[in-house]
Amino acid sequence: MENQAPERKPRVFSAIQPSGSVTLGNYLGALKNWAALQDDYDCIFALADLHTITVRQEPAKLRHNTLEAYALLLAIGIDPQRSPFFLQSHVPAHSQLAWVLDCYTQFGELQRMTQFKDKSKKHADNINAGLFTYPSLMAADILLYQANFVPIGEDQTQHLELTRNIAERFNNSYSPTFTLPQALVRKEGKRIMSLQDPSHKMSKSDENVNGCVYVLDKPDDIMRKFKRAITDSEASVHYGEGKNGINNLMDIYSCTTGEDYATIEHDFAGKGYGDFKAAVGEAVIEHLRPIQERFAQYSGDKAYLEKCWNDGAEKAAHIANRTLQKVMKKVGFVL
């Protein structure tokens, strides 16, 4: 049959905070997957800039990080024609719905969030109300778009669980309003560990600069970091228990070349760790090269970036405002 309405794909929403340089761990663990999701889902992506000010930001740096993250995500393959991609602060509905949801979120629920507990320890001099209500803003992000799925890392599952509880509570108090979102567990993509302490996640806050690789690192720096990666004393490239360092390098190699573990073990049989580390460094450099080239193009074209995020905000606001209107009507605000 012709002229049949195309079937609506399930909707995915996700966001990241533009709070610093994007790490190889962010990329392989999550962002690479965002680009792939665009084929199977109706995707909406945002930079969660409102969330960043729950910890102090230097204004010029926040602006710089936001531009950089936006250009980098385009370089990674987010297609702003297909997937609205915007800055959270450009769509006021996020803040507006967050306030309403705050009033449907219990103090005790927020108090139980492990991220709140961790961050209040880390920033003991600035335990602000925004840090506390961070999850209801995140709930607003997701619920505004009636997202079916949210690709998230393990550290955000508790926030997504709370989002579902808030949505359910609201739906039960009034009538079905919000779609209950589910976590989208990634098919591929790994938790990438620090190169210096492979029992910990790769992180910008790693004390040792060689522990964390950034997507925009220069090839020489990438190679240096891989050559210095901590391994073990066995000197045999295979995946196994107690071999966190090698397992991590195999994961990185596998994610950047597409080779499986068996092939890697076969190809590096009889070779030392030195050869393998250099090969992983090379694989990462080659994988990132086209991304870095595209990044250089996009980040040099501010007019294009502005056009993309303005378009994205317009499309996003159109969807978000429909949900917000329903909510305002149901709670009894005069429209």
Residues identified as active-site: 119, 201, 204
Residue closer to ligand TRP, measured from CB, 94 or 287:
94
User: Tokens in use for 36?
Assistant: 């792939």
Identify the residue among 11, 25, 31, 51 touching ligand TRP (CB under 6 A).
Answer: 51
Cβ at position 328, least distance to ligand TRP in Å: 21
Cβ at position 48, least distance to ligand TRP in Å: 4
Using rule CB under 6 A, residue 97 touches ligand TRP: no
Identify the residue among 42, 49, 68, 141 touching ligand TRP (CB under 6 A).
Answer: 141
Cβ at position 278, least distance to ligand TRP in Å: 33
Identify the residue among 105, 156, 196, 244 touching ligand TRP (CB under 6 A).
Answer: 156
Residue closer to ligand TRP, measured from CB, 115 or 292:
115
Using rule CB under 6 A, residue 254 touches ligand TRP: no
Identify the residue among 152, 283, 316, 324 touching ligand TRP (CB under 6 A).
Answer: 152
Residue closer to ligand TRP, measured from CB, 14 or 248:
14
Give phi and psi for 67, each to the nearest 5.
Answer: -60, -45
Residue closer to ligand TRP, measured from CB, 141 or 251:
141
C-alpha span between 318 and 37 (Å, rounded): 22
Cβ at position 169, least distance to ligand TRP in Å: 19
Cβ at position 120, least distance to ligand TRP in Å: 16
Using rule CB under 6 A, residue 237 touches ligand TRP: no
Which among 131, 122, 137 has a CA at the least distance from the CA of 46?
137
Using rule CB under 6 A, residue 17 touches ligand TRP: yes
Residues that bind ligand TRP (CB under 6 A): 13-17, 48, 51, 138, 141-142, 150, 152, 156
